[in-house]
Amino acid sequence: MIKDSLAKALNDQINAEYYSAYLYLTMSAYADRLGYKGIANWLGVQAKEELAHGTHIYHYLLERGAAPSFQDIKAPQVSYGSLQEIFEKVLAHERKVTELVNRIADLALNEKDHAAYHFIRWYVDEQVEEEADAEDLALKFSRIGNNPGQLYPLDAQLGMRRFTDPFPV
């Protein structure tokens, strides 16, 4: 049975993951409405991944005999000044999520809950990849700015991203 402190931290993380999905969907809608369907696709795939991350924690809590709890999901910002701003915010958000995940890993170690530590390690590794992708895109968008000649090839490239369920059953 998982300790209450860890169950609470994991429940909070479900909320953070679902909030991430909300956030990326608002960004996706913004890009879509500007006509950048590829960028909208990339952000939409990101939103699906976040939902999968949250749901995976939900199943884990059940497996460990704890009750998943559902909290209000904060409404994200819906309007943005530019695509560059979006990707700066993606990067800032991913860095924040990394801190949250690291705190859970610390807690699992303090509680000597090796199973929970093993579980959350997946998220620790995932955040390394997510931060690297976000850094790469934030840099690209800061260089490109609003130059349509360069935005369209990047849009086409980001349109190739496809969702792969990280936890297939």
Q: According to CB under 6 A, which residues from 106 to 135 bind ligand OFO?
A: 126-127, 130
Question: By CB under 6 A, how many residues form the interface with ligand OFO?
Answer: 9
Taking phi over 0 as left and psi of -120 to 50 as alpha, with beta for the rest, 25 belongs to alpha
CB of 87 to ligand OFO, least distance (A): 14
Structure tokens at 57: 């924690």
Structure tokens at 107: 């807690």
Q: Please tell me whether residue 20 binds ligand OFO under the rule CB under 6 A.
A: yes
Based on CB atoms, which residue is closest to ligand OFO, 50 or 113?
A: 50
Q: Please tell me whether residue 94 binds ligand OFO under the rule CB under 6 A.
A: yes
Distance CA 118, CA 132 (A): 22
CB of 62 to ligand OFO, least distance (A): 19
CB of 51 to ligand OFO, least distance (A): 9
Binding ligand OFO (rule: CB under 6 A), the pick from 31, 40, 50, 116 is 50
- Cα dihedral across residues 118, 11, 21, 162: positive or negative: positive
CB of 50 to ligand OFO, least distance (A): 5
Alpha helices in the chain (DSSP H): 4-34, 37-63, 83-110, 114-144, 148-158
Distance CA 20, CA 101 (A): 13
Q: Please tell me whether residue 57 binds ligand OFO under the rule CB under 6 A.
A: no
- Under the rule (CB under 6 A), what is the footprint of ligand OFO? 17, 20, 50, 53, 94, 97, 126-127, 130
